[in-house]
Amino acid sequence: MLNIVWPIFIIISFSYAILSGNIDALNSSIFDSTSDAVNLSIQLLGTICLWNGIMKIANKTTMIEKLTKLLKPIMKLLFPEINPNSNIHKEISMNMVANILGLGNAATPLGLKAMKSMQKENENKDTLTNSMAMFIVLNTASIQIIPTTVIALRSSLGSSNPTQIVFQVWIATICAAIARNFCNKDIYKIFKKGEMTCK
Amino acid sequence: MQVIGFISNLAMPMMILLIVIYGIAEKSKIFDTFLEGAKEGLEIVFTIFPTLVGLFVAIGALRTSGIIDLIVHFITPILNIVKFPSEIMPLAMLRPISGNASMAIATDIMKNYGVDSIFGTMASVIMGSTETTLYTIALYTSCIKVKKTRFVLIAALIADIVGIAVSVVVCRIMS
């Protein structure tokens, strides 16, 4: 994606700056930006290392497995087509718990594994099943309890209270998650109608 | 307001405390595990650093060249209808496309208007409550070589719009 976006940014902004005679500002912004990147990375290092270390501890305990049990009622609602005693069910719930805890590194491999297991039972190999679609849409939601990266970013930029946004993030996440759920179900119905009329 | 601030501030220390207690209850070499993870954190920062340099230069150039002001100038009347702050628009547009680019833009907004300003807070909440939708969809569909993704993209993008809109509204109400 960045292979397209990045050159567009460079070409548009550089040619606009040259055409509008803004070259001095452009020159100093080039050097400022590179040192900004260095400063930000150094300041992010501390928080990211700390959080990764803490999360590694969580990862090695049975915390994820225990928390998946709490998800059972939600899972039934979201994935009615999946057998609650199957392995797929377990993989999906573990991915969700890892996402909620903010264990990005653990969530992605679990999620890919769940996708592969679901694909095995998929009869139409080049089309997503309902459960797969729901699963992907859930993974595009940022359902983590603590938005660590943003907090790290805020503290590195000298915020007087970096964690103050946590509550607002929860509200926005919950609203988006509800929208996600409704969209998914309703758009699915529309699609189903379309497919039926096509036949 | 004070209660909300208290909950926000309590979330992170509570989670660390719980994980450490849980870790002690189950495992003996807890600090070794911590070090292992922290080392991985080091690698994460090293791997994103080249991306950040490239994107910071591009986004810095976009801002200083005046092109962002130009675009914002044109779309402000449209955004005013729905009362969406045009300062946040570049972030809202890039957020679903690229995680690193949106992080660079969010940093830019926080620096320009102040981290604790209304726009800085909005940028933070947007970054915290949304994901890199297109990347996630590409990753999960390409790993099993599915071509027909049906309604997934539309549903996810609508949800992103809702998330961003709610972020803006919540920050307005609470500040």
**pLDDT per residue over B31-63, tens digit each?**
999 999 899 888 888 888 888 899 889 988 988
Which chain A residue lies closest to B107 (C-alpha atoms)?
Answer: A153
Please answer whether residues B101 and B94 qualify as being in contact, where contact means their C-beta atoms are separated by less than 8 angstroms: yes
> DSSP class of residue B148?
B
Mark whether B137 and B110 lie in a shared domain. yes
Residue A107 CA to residue B57 CA, distance in Å, equals 31
Mark whether B143 and B97 lie in a shared domain. yes
| Domain count across chain B | 2
Mark whether B94 and B126 lie in a shared domain. yes
Inspect the interface and report whether the beta carbons of B61 and A135 lie closer than 8 Å.
no
Task: Please state the φ and ψ torsions of residue A20, each to the nearest 5 degrees.
Answer: -90, 10
Paired tokens of B90: 């570049």
Is B43 part of any domain? yes
Shortest distance, CA B95 to any CA of chain A (angstroms): 12
| Residues of chain A where predicted confidence (pLDDT) is lower than 50 | 198-199
Give Cα A178 to chain centroid, integer Å: 16
pLDDT at position B4 over 80? no
pLDDT at position B13 over 50? yes
The reply to whether B162 touches chain A by the CB within 8 Å rule is yes
Residues from chain A that touch B106, judged by Cβ atoms under 8 A, are 150, 153
User: By three-state DSSP, how is residue B130 classified?
Assistant: strand
User: By three-state DSSP, how is residue B169 classified?
Assistant: helix
Mark whether B11 and B87 lie in a shared domain. no
Non-local CB neighbours of B95 within 8 Å, separated by 6+ positions: B102, B126, B127, B130, B132, B133, B160, B164
Please answer whether residues A26 and B64 qualify as being in contact, where contact means their C-beta atoms are separated by less than 8 angstroms: yes
Mark whether B94 and B168 lie in a shared domain. yes
Please answer whether residues A109 and A115 qualify as being in contact, where contact means their C-beta atoms are separated by less than 8 angstroms: no
Q: Is the dihedral of CA A167, A168, A171, A177 positive or negative?
A: negative
Q: Is the dihedral of CA B98, A42, A173, A106 positive or negative?
A: positive
How confident is residue B6, by pLDDT bands cut at 50, 70 and 90? confident
With CA atoms as reference, report the closest residue to B104 among A40, A19, A13. A40
Mark whether B46 and B97 lie in a shared domain. no
Q: Give pLDDT tens digits for B94-137.
A: 888 878 888 889 999 999 899 999 999 999 999 999 888 888 88
Q: What is the pLDDT of residue B1?
A: 61
Nearest residue, CB atoms, A37 vs list B22, B49, B129: B49
Please answer whether residues A135 and A114 qualify as being in contact, where contact means their C-beta atoms are separated by less than 8 angstroms: yes
Q: What is the mean pLDDT of residues B154-163?
A: 88
Non-local CB neighbours of B99 within 8 Å, separated by 6+ positions: B131, B132, B135
Mark whether B88 and B14 lie in a shared domain. no
Mark whether B119 and B36 lie in a shared domain. no
More confident residue, B144 or B123: B123
Residue B126 CA to residue A168 CA, distance in Å, equals 9
Count how many Cα atoms sit within 13 Å of the Cα of residue A45 in the half-sphere of its side chain. 12
Per-position DSSP letters for chain A, written without gaps between them:
-HHHHHHHHHHHHHHHHHHTT-HHHHHHHHHHHHHHHHHHHHHHHHHHHHHHHHHHHHHHSSHHHHHHHHTHHHHHHH-TTS-TTSHHHHHHHHHHHHHHHT-HHHHHHHHHHHHHHHHHT-SSTTB--HHHHHHHHHHTB---SS-HHHHHHHHHTT-S-GGGGHHHHHHHHHHHHHHHHHHHHHHHHHHHHHHHHH-
Query: Which structural domain range is residue B151 located in?
Result: 66-174
Q: Is the dihedral of CA B161, B163, B165, B168 positive or negative?
A: negative
Q: Within 10 Å of residue B19's Cβ, how many Cβ atoms?
A: 21
More confident residue, B2 or B174: B174
Residues from chain A that touch B88, judged by Cβ atoms under 8 A, are none
DSSP H/E element including A43: helix A23-60
pLDDT at position B140 over 60? yes
Which chain B residue lies closest to A183 (C-alpha atoms)?
Answer: B155
Mark whether B78 and B43 lie in a shared domain. no
Q: Give pLDDT tens digits for B159-173.
A: 889 999 999 999 998
Inter-chain contacts counted by CB atoms under 8 A, chains A and B: 339
Please answer whether residues A68 and A90 qualify as being in contact, where contact means their C-beta atoms are separated by less than 8 angstroms: yes
**What is the residue extent of each domain of chain A?**
1-44, 45-198
Q: What is the pLDDT of residue A199?
A: 42
Q: Which residue has the tokens 């994606």?
A: A1
Q: What is the pLDDT of residue A195?
A: 57
Q: What is the pLDDT of residue A187?
A: 67
Mark whether B107 and B132 lie in a shared domain. yes
